[in-house]
Structure 1
Amino acid sequence: MQTTKANALYAGADLHGNNVFLSLCDQEGNTVFRKRVKANLAAVNAALDPFWDRIVALGVESTFNWYWFVDGLREKDRNVKLGNPAKMEQYKGIKITNDLTDADWLAEQLRLGIFPESYIYPKETRPVRDALRRRQLFVRRRTQVLLSFGGLLERYGLDAPGARKLEQWTLKDIQATGLDEFVQLQLETLLEAIRESDRLAKKVEQQVLAVAKPTKPYRRPRGVTGIGDALGMLVALESGDFSRFKSAGDYAPYCRAEKSEYSAN
């Protein structure tokens, strides 16, 4: 059947870890199908199989687990749109919200042409970007442990060494503090955690850099004064295809580098 405006359907998928709530509405906004299915492609395709030739688009929120859903359906040439959850707030006066209303709202936004579509990062480079995000996790952990180490020394009236000096500390330096053996145990384990976090961060950084360094998106930000390897990778991999930004003015808000302002009357 050829999809026409009269028989067009719009689909919403409220995606969870173990299930997906599907909803379809027609051109007039009438709900024609609702069903909760297991969170796998076979179940989703089976439920929507009678409707695919009429579905104009299927919308799903950018949740933590959208990869398998969006990638799998797009490989079947389904028109899947990824939505920005921060921009699709439902009517505030609604008394009850649940999976059903969430799926309905996704479909309704597609019907009305107001679906806040998000960029779908290329599947082939997504793991590289995500690996760099894991590096940030280890860097944050290293900073947290450094602060904990310094705070522990200061608790007992000792000066906390800077990060560079701390890198040179050994078990002898800890013993030289003369603190209680269990305090020394804390310092020893914290020191190990700092070095392990640093090791893991560098491991990820080196492997990601090997992939990113030869690419043009990495070389462009590296030409800016003050942007080194780590920040260059971050800019390139989090931005994706730079050509999707028409100008620097379009790119700045994406980076949250533009001040927000609200005014009325």
Structure 2
Amino acid sequence: PKEQRAVRDMLRRRMQLVQLASKQLLSIQNQIWRSSGVRVSSSQIKKKSFEVTLLRHHLKTAADTNLRIFRSIQSEIKLLEEEAEQAIEAPKQLDLLQTMTGIGPVLGLTILLETGTTARFETVGDYASYCRCVQSLRESNKKKKGEGNAKSGNKYLSWAFSQAAHMAVRYEP
């Protein structure tokens, strides 16, 4: 719906910031690992008390810069999430989506706003295809004959569902 597009676009910016924050986090981990041989978990780096103490001189300066950028991005992500949650009243479908492990309020809202009305999809398969959750492979006699348009569909929904799957694997016993 037209009135929800601005919030949808804001959640798309959030997705970009999440990816950028992940790059900063990995950069810090890799710098510490390459220079000191010590593995530092992402949960350790995310703590407010974390400081880069294993590195010296220029390497420490570079890692500290990445850490400040990471923390700045995290605060911007939080602002976007708060604004998105305030901008739209939670529809009933959001409660249903959140019953799935891995889908919280922000990811659920992203899925709802990217999907729009489900009435526009004739079948469940059409929706799965739109979400890029199915392969576009053509086979005959167990031989690959080609691929369809693998980039067709909504890349943001694809990302959202892959995030949900990743979270489910991490947190569902």
Q: Normalized against structure 1, the TM-score is what?
A: 0.48
Confirm or deny that 1:138 pairs with 2:12: no
Structure 1 unaligned spans of 5+: 1-121
> Residues of 2 paired with 1:163 and 1:241: CA distance?
37
1:167 matched to which residue of 2?
Answer: 46
CA 190–255 in structure 1, closer or farther in 2 if over 3 Å, else same? same
2:87 matched to which residue of 1?
Answer: 211
- 5 Å-filtered alignment, 1:1-265, equals 122-168=1-47, 170=49, 173-174=51-52, 176-177=53-54, 179-263=55-139
**What whole-Å deviation, never above 9, does each CA across 1:245-264 have from its counterpart, x for those lacking one?**
23323211111122223247
What is the one-letter code of the residue matched to 1:161?
V
Q: Which structure 1 residue ranges, 4+ long, deviate > 6 Å from structure 2?
A: none
What is the one-letter code of the residue matched to 1:129?
R
> Residues of 1 paired with 2:130 and 2:41: CA distance?
35
What is the one-letter code of the residue matched to 1:156?
S
CA 262–150 in structure 1, closer or farther in 2 if over 3 Å, else same? same
> Residues of 2 paired with 1:210 and 1:217: CA distance?
17
Give the RMSD, CA atoms, in angstroms.
2.2
Q: Normalized against structure 2, the TM-score is what?
A: 0.71
Structure 1 position 217, deviation (Å): 4.0
What is the one-letter code of the residue matched to 1:125?
Q
Task: State, as a whole percentage, how many aligned pairs show the same letter.
Answer: 30
What is the one-letter code of the residue matched to 1:221?
L
Greater Rg, structure 1 or structure 2?
1
CA 146–137 in structure 1, closer or farther in 2 if over 3 Å, else same? same
**What whole-Å deviation, never above 9, does each CA across 1:12-31 have from its counterpart, x for those lacking one?**
xxxxxxxxxxxxxxxxxxxx
> Residues of 2 paired with 1:211 and 1:218: CA distance?
14
What is the one-letter code of the residue matched to 2:99?
G
How many residue pairs get aligned? The number is 141
CA 257–158 in structure 1, closer or farther in 2 if over 3 Å, else same? same
Structure 1 position 213, deviation (Å): 4.7
Higher helix share: 2
**What whole-Å deviation, never above 9, does each CA across 1:114-162 have from its counterpart, x for those lacking one?**
xxxxxxxx32111110000000111111100111111111221231311
Structure 1 SS opposite 2:21: helix
**What whole-Å deviation, never above 9, does each CA across 1:167-197 have from its counterpart, x for those lacking one?**
22647x32x32x3322221121111111111
- Please identify, of 151-160 and 162-171, the stretch whose mean Cα deviation from structure 2 is larger: 162-171
What is the one-letter code of the residue matched to 1:152?
Q
8 A contact 1:217–1:242 mirrored in 2: no
